Amino acid sequence: MDKISAVIITYNEEKNIARCIESALKVADEIIVLDSFSKDATADICYRYPKVRFIERAWEGYSKSKNYANKQALYDYILSLDADEEITDELAYAILKEKENLKGAYAFNRLTNYCGFWIKHCGWYPDTKVRLFPKGKAYWEGDFVHEELKIDKGLSVKLLSGNLNHYSYYTEDEHRKRIEKYSDLHAQKMKADGKKADFIKLYFSPLFKFIKTYFFQLGVMDGYPGFIISVLSAKAVYLKYKKLKAIT
């Protein structure tokens, strides 16, 4: 049976890390946690698990941090998890079946929990991600906002059954704070790409985002959480263009 190294990066994840580690233990032969000097109980929690190798290192951004952590893995296959994610039993069973003879890369469907509600629409599901891959044939890239996994050409990708649960926001206030932070990064990236914020982008793009999320992507089917997600998604678009306009 092939062996898997689970890799997780953390910073102040005491709310999530135990759940993530315990789910990874279902399938992983070692767990690497790369932490950016958390100020909460993250380290103490990680040290409770014998299979966890806890490494502290200054933050260099998502891509550089994840690539560094991958290099520390002992085994040929990387299972990349975020601290707020959890492998379900069904997904664990599918991974264990593949461990008999791992080939290529593997994708998971990610299901997000928003303020206690599972979101099935809003463009948030299935949110398919490649998360299990050969160590030497994939790397993370992206400087500003969301890192992206690049895999070697010709590497097959198989979608496994079961969900990767994602506990995104516990409160609406957390969501609003994240929007403020990421809208800054989005604006910087757009500026670096030479983009401008005109009248249409500033005022009509947020409106279209709401319509798309709430109606076209059936956010209305998710009830009140779907409405809030649609509103805040529109706000995120407005803020990134507003901030872009301010710096260009």
Structural domain boundaries, residue 224? 172-247
Q: What is the CATH number of the domain that holds 21?
A: 3.90.550.10
Domain identity same for 205 and 121: no
Domain identity same for 163 and 231: no
Q: What is the pTM of this model?
A: 0.94
1: pLDDT confidence band, cut at 50, 70 and 90? Answer: confident
The β-bridge relationship of strands 148-151 and 30-35 is: unpaired
Domain identity same for 193 and 86: no
Domain identity same for 117 and 187: no
Cα gap 165→109, rounded to integer Å:
9
Q: In the chain, where does DSSP find H-type helix?
A: 17-24, 42-46, 62-71, 89-98, 172-192, 199-211, 223-247
In 3-state terms the chain splits into helix, strand, coil percentages (rounded to 5) of 40, 25, 30
Domain identity same for 155 and 194: no
Domain identity same for 181 and 152: no
Domain identity same for 58 and 94: yes
Matching residue, tokens 């998604």:
233
Domain end (from 110, 144, 169): 169
Q: pLDDT for 117-138, tens place per residue?
A: 999 999 999 999 999 999 999 9
Q: Can you tell me the mean pLDDT for 18-47?
A: 98
Q: pLDDT for 146-201, tens place per residue?
A: 789 999 999 999 999 999 999 999 999 999 999 999 999 999 999 999 999 999 99
Q: pLDDT for 143-158, tens place per residue?
A: 667 789 999 999 999 9
Domain identity same for 36 and 125: yes
